[in-house]
A = this chain, B = another copy of it.
Amino acid sequence: MTDTRDPSRRGFLTGALAIGGGFVAARAGAETAPDPAITELQPWQQYLGEGVDARPYGFPSEHEAHVVRRNVPWLTADATSSVNFTPLHELDGIITPNGLCFERHHGGIAELDPGSYRLMINGLVDSPLVFTMQDLLRFPRENRVHFLECAANSGMEWRGAQLNGCQFTHGMIHNVMYTGVPLRLLLEEAGVRTSAAWILAEGADASGMTRSIPLEKALDDCLVAFKMNGEALRPEQGYPVRLVVPGWEGNMWVKWLRRIEVGDQPWHHREETSKYTDLLPDGRARRFTWEMDAKSVITSPSPQAPIPHGPGPMVLTGLAWSGRGTIPRVDVTLDGGVTWTEARMSGPSFDKSLHRFYHDFVWDGRPMLLQSRAHDSTGYVQPTKDALREIRGENSIYHNNGIQTWAVNESGVAENVEIS
């Protein structure tokens, strides 16, 4: 039996020596300067910590205080109609913690009282209905993991803004497990008339956000959701109820959902005419570009996540997703597209969900041009930005799913670059 309390053993363990040929780790007992983190008893080993009554609802370590959503004040006139960004470079796996899901508001965070919450279904239905929260909880529920991406994610990169970090270039996305009632069940309860072809989803916030959605999608996989990652929706994500429109642009996932109107044609409201359409070079506009195209981004290394060590074994990681299915494959390149390697996927592969990829390799210490390229389950391959611009020009804000490049220098510092 080994006495793990023998203080002489701590003295035996002394600091940091790289192991040739393997991963970098200190060899215990090596002839280098003692590492006080090993030789000295740490404060957390000597004193009792807080008890189980200290944190009824927990929060991150103070050492993680930099892991936050960030907004860009110059982007909009006012923070109540603006966006902030998920810190993708600090996250791993595929679940976004609720506190870090990016926000996009048109009238600020509506703070609803769930006791006064009502959801109305009206229009081309046999019985207009009004549901309370308790009513909704009496319908059969489903649980599904889906990404929500703002159509404007990466929008500033169209003209080469080159924002310095994937939080800002790709951070208008999050991925959580939703619990909700299929919208189909509520529409069936109201009785959709045969002339119906569209719904209008309306929010209860001060902006009265509305979007037209084809009835076919509404009856297919939309959820009237009240939980995210197990707990109630967060206020900034539509508490108590939001619409989930899997694979389609985030603006359609109406938050604080108060009304579903059933109609026979689209409403052509603000958010589907002056906004969320893409002006093409010839003056025409793409409209009803609902599905989010396959896309990927390397989250580390990246401008906010430089390589913190010298040459040797390292992990490159990123996210890939498609509004049309799953991601069976991601390619990565370290040399700006001269050679591509298939990345290692790890974690669940859900329909219309983030996928996590890794590339484990030995860095030779030379500069790199990092890119990732997603393949989705329909066979579609993520295009270059130039290929997109050739077709769609540079008037667009929305639906930039082009390949992103990070240039990494000898020091491991990464920056956002464009290469042809």
Contacts and interface: CB of A to CB of B under 8 A. Distances in A.
A279 interface: no
Given A44-B206, A231-B90, A80 B129 contact: no
A94 B177 contact: yes
Nearest to A347: B143
A177 B143 contact: no
A236 B206 contact: no
Interface in A47-74: 47-64, 67-71, 73
Contact of A129 (B28, B54, B96): B28
Main secondary structure of the interface of A (DSSP, over half): loop
A67 B226 CA distance: 15
A336 to B, nearest CB: 24
Interface residues on chain A, size class:
35 or more
Contact of A4 (B179, B200, B231, B315): B200
A420 interface: no
Contact of A140 (B37, B132, B144, B315): B315
A288 interface: no
Interface in A25-48: 25-29, 35, 37-38, 42, 44-48
A142 interface: yes
A187 interface: no
Contacts of A227: 91-93
Given A22-B189, A90-B231, A61 B117 contact: no
A317 interface: yes
Contacts of A61: 111, 232, 234-235, 239-240
A308 to B, nearest CB: 6
B208 A45 contact: yes
A229 interface: yes
Given A52-B69, A95-B95, 16 more contacts: A4-B261, A13-B130, A27-B128, A28-B129, A38-B130, A42-B204, A44-B110, A45-B208, A53-B73, A57-B59, A59-B234, A92-B141, A95-B229, A138-B312, A138-B314, A144-B347
Interface of A: 1-2, 4-5, 13, 15-16, 19, 22-29, 35, 37-38, 42, 44-64, 67-71, 73, 78-80, 82-84, 90-101, 103-105, 107-114, 116-118, 120, 122-123, 127-132, 134-135, 137-145, 176-179, 189, 200, 202, 204-206, 208, 210, 227, 229-232, 234-236, 239-240, 256, 259, 261, 263, 267-268, 308-309, 312-315, 317, 344, 346-348, 350, 356, 358, 360
